[in-house]
Amino acid sequence: MPVADATLRAALAPGGALDVLPAEFDALGGRYSGKVRENFTRDGVRTIVVTDRISAFDRVLGTIPFKGQVLNQLAAYWFRQTASRFPNHLREVCDPQAMRVVECEPIPIEMVVRGYLTGVSSTSIWRAYERGDRVFCGHALPDGLRKHQRLPSNVVTPSTKAPKGEHDVSVSKDELFVRGLIEPAEFERLEARALELFAFGQRLAAERGLILVDTKYELGRASDGTVVLIDEIHTPDSSRYWYAEGYEAAMAAGEDPRSLDKEYVRRWLVSQGFAGDGPPPALTDEVRLEAARRYIEAFEQVTGESFEPDLRPPLPRLRENLGL
């Protein structure tokens, strides 16, 4: 069931969305602030609080109502669905927008898996193809492909992990080896597993009437050396989803497929003349509300369950659930 517009609008008010966590949360452990997640580490356990912040083009743009709850619960759903296929760091979901996980040493690359020729950023596979490039991250691409067309096969196009505020860079695996970021044998193993995981995600999404277009997997090494999935998996922030119904008609008409992810926000930014450089435009309330509707719809479409937002003020609720 969609969340009522009145409920979404109420969450636009100050204090309705979770943005900055005050200093008292440092009692949970050493803090690392990402673009969306606040991380606290102590005694081998990391507490991750998923804020309502939204980022695009590696810039934080504001907040979206209930986004943190959607991301946290959808990531937990996918971690559980895929645990037998690829281990992950999840220990428990301790709040609608927080989880406790095993502390890992991050591997400094992202395994980006793409199934379609798409994207709006200047570094996307579509923009590269549109410029005339026929090799992307070491993968040869045939002539004659169209925007949003399925690639001949799913491919892994890794990227480096940039410091906060800087842009990730898509590179070939050979460039990773030259930089010493990962050994070739380990990359080959992880590449094969990422492709298997993505294919599983595509199959499950197809059962729900969706196309899992692309995604990124972040990886870490647990204390015993096991490589595990960290951060999030198959969420609307880390992945593109399109509705399967209407995809062929959109392709025939030369239109963008109907999407269920933050691509809506990216496209709005581009329509305002922003593609990552200079100051971003402020998100309007209507853009924030529409983005919230899409995040919630993505949760419900993927899981087959209704999204029931916790309407309590987020900071007092988190204090209680995290033992502060």
Look at residue 174 in the predicted model and tell me its pLDDT.
Answer: 95
DSSP-based three-state secondary structure for 46:
strand
Check residue 162 and report its DSSP letter. Answer: P
Nearest Cα to Cα of residue 111 among 233, 289, 209: 233
Q: Give the sign of the dihedral formed by CA 196, CA 197, CA 198, CA 199.
A: positive
Residue 59 vs residue 24, higher pLDDT: 24
Q: pLDDT tens digits, residue range 171-211?
A: 999 999 999 999 999 999 999 999 999 999 999 999 999 99
Q: What is the pLDDT confidence band of residue 276, given thresholds at 50, 70 and 90?
A: confident
pLDDT above 70 for 317: yes
If you average pLDDT over residues 156-170, what whole number do you get? 77
The pLDDT value recorded for residue 15 is: 86
- CATH number of the domain located at residue range(s) 5-321 in this protein: 3.30.470.20
End-to-end C-alpha distance for the chain, whole angstroms: 33
Average pLDDT over residues 298-324: 96
> What pLDDT band is residue 163 in, cutting at 50, 70 and 90?
low
Q: Where are the alpha helices (DSSP H) in 151-275?
A: 173-179, 184-207, 247-253, 263-271
Mean pLDDT calculated for residue range 239-250: 96
Question: Whole-model pTM above 0.85?
Answer: yes
Closest C-alpha among 28, 31, 34 to residue 50: 34
Give the residue-averaged pLDDT of 113-129.
93
Query: What is the predicted pLDDT for the residue at 162?
Result: 64
Q: Is 231 exposed, middle or buried, given 0-12, 13-18 or 19+ CB atoms closer than 10 A? A: buried
Q: What is the pLDDT of residue 165?
A: 56
Least confident of 147-156, 163-172, 267-276: 163-172
Is residue 166 scored above 70 in pLDDT? no
Is 164's pLDDT higher than 70?
A: no
Say if residue 239's pLDDT is above 70: yes
Q: Which range in 2-16, 141-155, 156-170 is most confidently predicted, on average pLDDT?
A: 141-155
Count each helix (H run) and each strand (E run) in the chain, helices first. Answer: 9, 15
pLDDT at 1: 64
Reduced to 3 states, what is the DSSP secondary structure of residue 14?
A: coil
CB 222 within 8 A of CB 89: yes
What does the mean pLDDT of the chain come to?
94
Q: What is the mean pLDDT of residues 58-70?
A: 94
Per residue in 226-235, pLDDT (tens digit) is 999 999 999 9
Per-domain residue ranges of the chain: 5-321
